[in-house]
Structures are given as C-alpha cells and as structure tokens.
Amino acid sequence: MRIVNRKARYKYFILDTFEAGVVLNGGEVKSIRQGRVDLSNSFAKILNGEVFLINAYINPYQGSDPGVDPKRSRKLLMHRSEIDSLIGKLSSKSMSLIPINIYSKRNMFKVQLGLGKPKSKFDKRRDILKKDEQRRLEQELKGIKDNNGRVI
C-alpha cells in the first residue's frame, strides 16, 4: 500500500530522495492501513539533530483514544550520517524537506522524503503544458476518435 502526496511534485522540483521510518502509535497504524492519511500540507524539519514530520494529518482510528491529536509532530528515524548530510543541504536557500509518500515495507511504515526546491508559477504552467502534450500524443498513437471520426 502506498499513499502519495500528489502536490509535492507539482509544487517542488525533487532533487534527492531519502527513506525514513516513522514513530507511530497503534491507532495511527490502523488508520494508515485504511489509507486515511493526508500529506498535502506536511513537511519535515530537523530540530536538535532529529527529524520530525510536521502537519501530516492521520485520521484518528474509530476505536482508539479520542484525545490523540491527528496533526501531531511525528519523529522520523534516519541514520546520523543522513541527517548530517541533510543539514548541510538544507542550509542553502529555499530548500525544503517534503514527504512524497508513505508506504509499508516489511510490516513497518516508511516515509519517502524529497529534498525539494519550490517551483515558480511559470514552471508549474510549463509542466501542465508538457503533460497535456504528452497526453495528446498518447491519444493519437492509440487512435482515439471523437464523434466526428477525427483523431483527438
């Protein structure tokens, strides 16, 4: 199972990716297995030499404790060498650490983090035009026709 943050690749150029484990409680694990996670406004931050996932919304599980905050900061588990290299890369201007997706690996949940640089409005428009052109070419190759018999 893989939960993808679709806004990450739309808003950022992803330059490098990292894998990190997540510290979760039981109700959060059950919610993730049901796919009830929103990563769209979340980010990762390094505080006191530790990496935290901030603002990720994990919907509370129905049978769990109602006092759990669904947007609490969650600790990410990474090697010290990876954290040190991230600190060096994030020190440059306008770099962010964005969660790209959450997935299960050997019965544990991992977060794929991307080191990203924000896209400008012009870059976003260019990407949309590129996708539209690619979609149009694929449709021509398939031979999809409209009501008038023309290839769309």
Which has the minimum average pLDDT: 8-17, 91-100, 140-149?
Answer: 140-149
Q: Is the pLDDT of residue 22 over 90?
A: yes
The burial class, CB within 10 Å (0-12 / 13-18 / 19+), for 49 is exposed
The length of the chain in residues reads 152
Q: Residue 100 CA to chain centroid, in angstroms?
A: 2
Mean pLDDT of 60-79: 83
pTM of the model: 0.78
Helix (H) or strand (E) holding 35: none
Mean pLDDT of 91-95: 82
Beta-bridge mates of residue 11:
none
